[in-house]
A and B are shown apart, each in its own frame.
Chain A
């Protein structure tokens, strides 16, 4: 079975936004949209679910805070509670103010780095990854909408020509 898709190419983000709204209204399934820069409101127009990256970051931050607390408690209070310059090492809370800078930095460190790594994994980004742009112009000044074709090729082509596309291509995707 052939796996055909339409590439509708636009050269203006306003026209693209209109086209996305029209396509959604006509119930054609948008596979993907490629843009050279973030288009404000595109995710809403496409109906994408909101990201949960911030929730991840919050949880990672809590992990970092726990790690910092555990580490300082084990090293400074449990393992070898020395008297260093008269700092009270009898219990964690006694010496807590001295550990706060570390706990804070661990929280930020974990939240930031683990969130970035999560982002890379979810977006499937890594060094030597093969680039996926369907048309090289989409990284410069063109916008591309990819829509699946289900035996309605003629109808789709005329539909996208009506939405202000500068170019409509039918591609056989493998």
Chain B
């Protein structure tokens, strides 16, 4: 049995407390009205910084501002006087920046919230695949995976509350939730059959309930299998895992449209679902490796040897490359064809998010491929931890890149709101996962493949 070290528990509470304070600070300092933004921009524009920022932000926000730009055009035609036009443009700009800045703490919270929830989802999918593939190496890690997925119900509840808050107009993350915007935007109005709050929230309920139901029953059967005298629970788990994987791949795709792609409702990509999947799948596998390495170093996993670690490292390596393949395929196809309605997505990211956009490729591809390609390195703990930290941070940045440009645009910054949100969810994640690990023995007793797994050697 695992005992939650008091140091780690204190650490997770500190993370949560610091995170909460930072999140509160982020909301406290977000501008409350246009006047505050005006004062902010005036203070910013000393030395011409404000103008430069304005230029950069303008192309970033065409999806959000199409109707605003259209009304600006109207103003231009109606009044031929220069000062009036300039005045109205200035007002448009202020409103635009105000929306971005008031979105910022919400978006920071959203990125961290969805990242940690999907990370435990990635673990759950990996676990289901291991069950269905009847893998002989991984049963000694099943309890670790179940521990990590125990974050899923907690994360789902928080995430669902967040979605409801979006629907109640507490924030402006999903512009299609704003009837004002939809009324002026034909493209979004045409998608209203799919992008409307009731349908959207019902889909979220179905997905989250489906995933959590699998997690609940799979764990229950796995524990019942320990006490049983035949393999019926094992077979049950095999069946529900196979059904879950089918359910998952459909819901995952829709989930990625609903929760991430709809932030940019003027843009679409067909491989987006796979791309998002690869991102959180590799994060999930990396988390398994990190938690395993931690528990092993504390002496709790006597049956886990370097071959198990090596296998996890190979998965981290392989799926990192897979993520890059999808990242590049999505980028290159759109870059190559250069169709205006698609390319704006990447123009924003390259011009306004240059470092995070390409930095994510370095952290998620270049670094892991160079250090995890070596067989010996895959067994060395500190190298594995280094690669894992890079992959996890890199995929946080990846989610940041997917969500921020459509919500805060040019006003992005990795500051207190962003870091505090990550710290809060990290603390919660550590607390929930390691509490769950103390509940049951770390070694399944009578899994049919447990003996093979104990003696796994590569």
Partner of A97, one of B336, B373, B375: B336
B374, chain A: closest CB distance, angstroms: 9
Within 8 A of A (CB), among B310-355: 328, 331-332, 335-336, 338
Q: Are A97 and B331 in contact (CB under 8 A)?
A: yes
Question: Does any Cβ of B come within 8 Å of A86's Cβ?
Answer: yes
Return the 4 tightest CB-CB contacts between A and B, nearest first.
A97-B332, A97-B335, A98-B336, A100-B328
A67 at the interface (CB under 8 A from B): no
**What are 12 A-B pairs with beta-carbon distances under 8 A?**
A54-B375, A58-B373, A86-B338, A97-B328, A97-B331, A97-B332, A97-B335, A97-B336, A98-B332, A98-B336, A100-B328, A100-B332
How big is the A interface, by class? under 10
B338: which A residues are within 8 A, CB to CB?
A: 86
Contacts of A97 in B (CB 8 A): 328, 331-332, 335-336
**Which residues on A are within 8 Å of B, measured CB to CB?**
54, 58, 86, 97-98, 100
A54 CA / B375 CA spacing, docked (Å): 10
Minimum C-beta distance from A18 to chain B (A): 19
Q: How far is the CA of A162 from the CA of B316 in the complex (A)?
A: 48
Inter-chain contacts of B335 with A (CB < 8 A): 97
Select the residue from A58, A86, A97, A98 with max chain B CB neighbours within 10 A: A97
Interface residues of B (CB under 8 A from A): 328, 331-332, 335-336, 338, 373, 375
- In angstroms, Cα B375 to Cα A58, docked, is 13
Q: Name the distance in Å between A74's Cβ and chain B's nearest Cβ.
A: 22
- Closest chain A CB from B396 CB (angstroms): 25
A98 to B335, CA, bound (A): 9
The minimal Cβ–Cβ distance linking B332 to chain A, given in whole angstroms, is 5
* A54, B336: Cα distance in complex, Å: 35
CB-nearest residue of chain B to A98 = B336
In the complex, what's the smallest C-beta–C-beta distance from B149 to chain A, in angstroms? 35
CA distance A47 to B243 in the complex (A): 48
Residues of chain B within 8 A of A58, CB atoms compared: 373
Q: How far is the CA of A128 from the CA of B332 in the complex (A)?
A: 47
| B373 partner residues in chain A, CB cutoff 8 A | 58
A98–B337 CA distance with the chains assembled, in angstroms? 11
Q: Give complex CA distance A2, B258 in Å.
A: 82
Least Cβ distance of A170 to chain B in Å?
38
* 10 extra interface residue pairs, beta carbon distance < 8 Å, beyond A98-B336, A100-B328: A54-B375, A58-B373, A86-B338, A97-B328, A97-B331, A97-B332, A97-B335, A97-B336, A98-B332, A100-B332
Docked pose: A58 CA to B335 CA in angstroms: 30
> How distant is the Cα of A100 from the Cα of B327 in the complex, in angstroms?
13
Q: Which residue of A lies closest to B331 (CB)?
A: A97
Return the chain A residue nearest B375 by Cβ: A54
User: In angstroms, how far is the closest chain B Cβ from the Cβ of A47?
Assistant: 19
**Shortest distance between the CB of B335 and any CB in chain A (Å):** 5
User: Nearest A residue to B335 by beta-carbon distance?
Assistant: A97
User: In whole angstroms, what is the CA distance A165 to B113 when docked?
Assistant: 66
A98 proximity list for chain B (CB < 8 A)? 332, 336
CA distance A100 to B365 in the complex (A): 14
Q: How far is the CA of A58 from the CA of B373 in the complex (A)?
A: 9
Considering the chains assembled together, what is the distance between the CA atoms of A98 and B334 in angstroms? Answer: 11
Docked CA distance A104–B41 (Å): 46
A86: chain B residues within 8 A (beta carbon): 338
Tell me, in angstroms, the Cα distance from A12 to B373 when the chains sit together: 36
